Structure 1
């Protein structure tokens, strides 16, 4: 049987838990949450808080400062919450991450505690396959362990007032959770809540008639239908590149995200909430208002590039919008439907982007641009027997 898999933390993340409300310490590369033990500590909470966010190996051994009995170590055993990401073997769960300076592709995880026939569990997310995304999250234990967001309360204001560092936020928001019963977790918690929920069928209902009308009026400027079809196909192809660019450079603007609550909150609202709750049926497609905001500059771009012919520019734009419709529907179905054989591979690929490596695998409708730009995701974690 696989050993229990715990999350990994950076040194900065551990150091961020240095208050009476959230107090982490380390012994070697094992991370402990001792918040609940502060008031029960025989020497008083102040002694622990002096070491909050730090390694306590030496102070535990220091007989002059304070003699620690076996009971103290038993308390620590019950308080384990994860491991320090040092690039070396991570204690009890036995996973070794590959070269710390290389991009993680899901491979090169080693385990002495996992049977050679079992599937490797990713040390960051604790997941081994796409089915894990559907496992309901225990709200209370998740919040107690990670001190991130309480799924019982509206999420957006928690992000705004959370005081999270960028590194801690990015690590946590890319550890997928699943809301109970497949329902939607509260985002705003007020009258704005319905605006954040978009059923998949709204996308074709709104935009397919709009595309059809645009093509109809643009057709008047073409000599032949074949000519218009060619430009429509070009717009459709152009969308695949736009899709890749938006996903990689806007939705995953992670490395360039300001370490400030404004940037973090906007990131969460735009795409972070989807990675935090990837199986939420009503936050899988783009709300109409957001699409209009993003589509407006592309309308202007199309007419700037093809300034010589309004009909050509409009047809190219309509091809792009139709590509967007295909993208949003594909995205929904990859998460929630059983698909034909070709799509099954695409589904596995996209969901691996969620639970395996969010820094790779940006293509949703295809892997083409991932292959072109070298961001293709290796989806097969390797387990090596010792």
Structure 2
């Protein structure tokens, strides 16, 4: 008598092509890729190229489209994210045979929820401890943290509910917290300068913020190549920016928490006070803070909004390509200006 328990292997559900074709709109959008059926309805809104492109191929076999470089080059992460939307297979023996070889590698690395692990972070469990107690090399960490995952809701960072609550920042916290600070600095400035002078310095502060936006994103948040191969360094990287690349659509961790924003603000203000007369500090700081608030709102909108203008649509695709195609280029978020200047434009 055998002492081992038999392991049941679930048989994939089969769908006819007619069934798939009936799901071809924004309410229910299915596709076929290499003989497998995926319900991509939850991803429509988050697609870097816009939901209308996906709806255009709703109910269809996109195997050749996904492989067509003239249509669009899809990253490895694009195929990996599809795993969590898997429904079953096409009831077509010829297609199923063709799909078997293509799907084998992806199936081997996917867990029950379709999230590829490869000895990395499980986003269903507190993530900070996983990074801190890991034995990953820097190369392994950087490879895996830049493969975007999608989870429902917000993945936990801390084991303790109180700390977890403090780690979540809704988008509206940014204007609520910072607009009064901006207004106060503008009022102080009007005591020393004419309105036109204050407006000029506000504009200079905004321009300065666009440079800070680029500088911080490239040389602080993406200091990947200079990162020490130490657990503490990987943990710090993950908390500062790695989590955003690991889970780019987590809406509660898209904007900067006020505590981190305050530390950055104090550093910027101290810099202004060292290089300009004291009276110039408040209006320049107010302009930089205006630029920052605009940046954080635009950043959130690029991830979760439906752009109405061509410029915002272009920047949405540009920024999400930074996440899904090449994290070493495309550091501009509100504009491509400094990417052009410093030759880091993502084409």
TM-score, length-normalised on structure 1?
A: 0.63
CA deviations on 1:168-215 (whole Å, 9 max, x unpaired) are: 0000000000012xx000111212001110000000001011100111
Task: Let me know the Cα RMSD of the aligned residues.
Answer: 2.5
Counterparts of 2:238 and 2:228, CA distance in 1: 13
What is the DSSP-based 3-state SS (H/G/I as helix, E as strand, rest coil) of the residue aligned with 2:225?
Answer: coil
Conserved 8 A contact 2:170-2:255: yes
1:359 is aligned to: 328
Conserved 8 A contact 2:84-2:113: no
1:206 is aligned to: 177
1:66 is aligned to: none
Deviation of the 1:311 alpha carbon: 2.6
2:293 is aligned to: 325
Among residues 178, 183, 193, which one is paired with 2:150 in the alignment? 178
Counterparts of 1:115 and 1:275, CA distance in 2: 26
2:158 is aligned to: 188
1:218 correspondence with 2:189: yes
Counterparts of 2:117 and 2:234, CA distance in 1: 21
Which consecutive unaligned segments of at least 5 residues does structure 1 have? Answer: 1-92, 94-110, 379-386
Matches within 5 A, 1:2-21: none
Q: 1:118 to 1:323 in 2, by over 3 A?
A: closer
Among residues 114, 122, 129, which one is paired with 2:75 in the alignment? 122
Counterparts of 1:376 and 1:116, CA distance in 2: 20
Which consecutive unaligned segments of at least 5 residues does structure 2 have? Answer: 1-33, 35-63, 87-109
Counterparts of 2:342 and 2:222, CA distance in 1: 15
What is the DSSP-based 3-state SS (H/G/I as helix, E as strand, rest coil) of the residue aligned with 2:75?
Answer: coil
Among residues 114, 121, 125, which one is paired with 1:153 in the alignment? 125
1:375 is aligned to: 344
Q: 1:304 to 1:133 in 2, by over 3 A?
A: farther
TM-score, length-normalised on structure 2?
A: 0.70
Deviation of the 1:126 alpha carbon: 3.7
Conserved 8 A contact 1:133-1:279: no
Q: What count of residue pairs does the alignment treat as equivalent? A: 260
Counterparts of 1:302 and 1:261, CA distance in 2: 35
Conserved 8 A contact 1:136-1:177: no
Conserved 8 A contact 1:178-1:277: yes
Among residues 279, 285, 297, which one is paired with 2:255 in the alignment? 285
Q: 1:232 to 1:365 in 2, by over 3 A?
A: same
Deviation of the 1:241 alpha carbon: 0.2
Deviation of the 1:259 alpha carbon: 0.3
1:252 is aligned to: 222
Deviation of the 1:114 alpha carbon: 3.4
Counterparts of 2:83 and 2:190, CA distance in 1: 46
CA deviations on 1:232-272 (whole Å, 9 max, x unpaired) are: 11011000000000000000010001100000000000000
Q: 1:296 to 1:363 in 2, by over 3 A?
A: same
Conserved 8 A contact 1:136-1:179: no
Question: Which fold has the larger relative contact order, with Cα–Cα distance below 8 Å and residues 6 or more apart in sequence?
Answer: 1
- The structure with the largest alpha-carbon Rg is 1
